[in-house]
Amino acid sequence: MQLEQTLRTLCALPAVSGFEMQAAKAVAELFRPYCDTVDTDKNGNVIGSLSCGKEGAKTVMLDAHLDQIGFLVTEVLDGGFLRFAPVGGVDPRMLLGGEVTILADEPLYGVVSCMPPHLLKAGEQNKAVPIDQMAIDTGLLDAKSRIRVGTPIVFAQQPIKLAGGQLCSKCLDDRAGVAAILLAMEKLHAAKDKLKCNVAVLISTQEEVTELGAQTGAFTVQPEYAIAVDVTHGRTPDGPSDGVFDLGSGVAVGMGPNLHRGFTKALIKTAKANDIDYTLEIMEGNTGTNAWTMQIVGRGIAMGLLSIPEKYMHTPVEVVKLSDVQAVADLMAEFLRGFDGEVGA
C-alpha cells in the first residue's frame, strides 16, 4: 500500500460531521481486503473485524474518525451568494478568500467573499469578520434552484506534497489516522495466523461535534481494549513551546487519567523494542479525542491513545509527515502481533 496515494484518496472523500455515509461506504471498501467482515451502521460508522480464531480471545479496537470540519448553507441570496454556518471548530480568521466545494446534487465551487484592502475603513484590517457576516460567492445566477439550505460545504484545496516527506491537505485530521489503521490492518491480515487477539476497526463519525459515532460504535463492538488514533499539534515558529511535537518525531503516545496505565506502558515497551520513534504526550484531563468518550462505554474500555503530529490543525492546509503516520501504523501492528490480551496495572 502506497501511503501518500492512500492519504490523497482518503482526503478526497467529503465527510462533514453528520454527512459521512457516502465516504463511509468508500472507506469500507478500502478495509474489506484486510478484515473478515466490514459494514457501515446507520450512523455512518465503518466497523470491521479480524478474528484470530482462538476461543476466549480478547478484542482490541482501533479507532480513527472519518468526519471533517466544514459548513452548512443557511441562506441562498440573490446573485449566487450563500450565507453559511460552521460545523466543528472553524477559525473565521482563515476563511476570507478561501476556496470551497458546495456538495449539492452536482458539486459546485465557490470562494469566500473578501473585501479588498483598498475599501477597508481605518482599524478594520486587524478585525476578524464573524462567520455569520461572511458570504460564499458561487457566481451562479440560478443558485436558488441548484443549492438548498442545509447543503454541506467543504474546503476545496487539493493535497500538495511538501519537502521533507510532508503532505499538506484539508482533513488530514483525521484521515491520517484512518490511513495509519489501514496500513496496520494490512500487516495484521498478513500475519493473521499468528494473532492471539481479535482486532476490530472503528472508523467513526461526528468526532468534530459530539464524538457520538465513537460511543455508538464502541457499544456495538464491546472490546476489552481500544486505541484511539488522532492528530496532535505540530511545532511551528509562531506556536507555543509546550504541548507541541516536532514533525518527524514519530508517535505521540498519550498518557493521562483516562488512558489505561498498563496498556500505555505496553505500547511504549513495543515502541522501544522495535526502534519506533515516539514521544510522550502528557494529558491532564479530557484528551479532546474519542478516547475520552469510548472509555466509559459499556462496562468500560481500557484505552490507549496514539497521535500524529500535525501543523495547522482545522485549516485547509493541515500538514503531516508521512514517516509519523507510518510509525503509528508500525506500532499498532507490532503491538497487536504479540498481544495476548493481558496487561499489568
pLDDT tens, residue order, the chain (345 aa): 699 999 999 999 999 999 999 999 999 999 999 999 999 999 999 999 999 999 999 999 999 999 999 999 999 999 999 999 999 999 888 898 999 999 999 999 999 987 665 545 666 666 778 899 899 999 999 999 999 999 999 999 999 999 999 999 999 999 999 999 999 999 999 999 999 999 999 999 999 999 999 999 999 999 999 999 999 999 999 888 888 999 999 999 999 999 999 999 999 999 999 999 999 999 987 768 999 999 999 999 999 999 999 999 999 999 999 999 999 999 999 999 999 988 876
pTM: 0.95
- The C-alpha cell that represents 229 in the structure block: 488514533
Q: How do beta strands 302-310 and 225-233 pair? A: parallel
Element containing residue 225 per DSSP (H, E): strand 225-233
CA distance 328 to 251: 6
For residue 110, which phi and psi values (nearest 5 degrees)? -155, 170
Q: Give the torsion sign (CA, 39, 292, 338, 174).
A: positive
Count the helix, strand and coil residues of the chain and give each as a percent rounded to the nearest 5.
30, 30, 40
User: Which residues are designated catalytic?
Assistant: 207
277-303 burial, b for 16+ CB within 10 Å, e for fewer? ebeebebeeebebbbbbbbebeeebbb
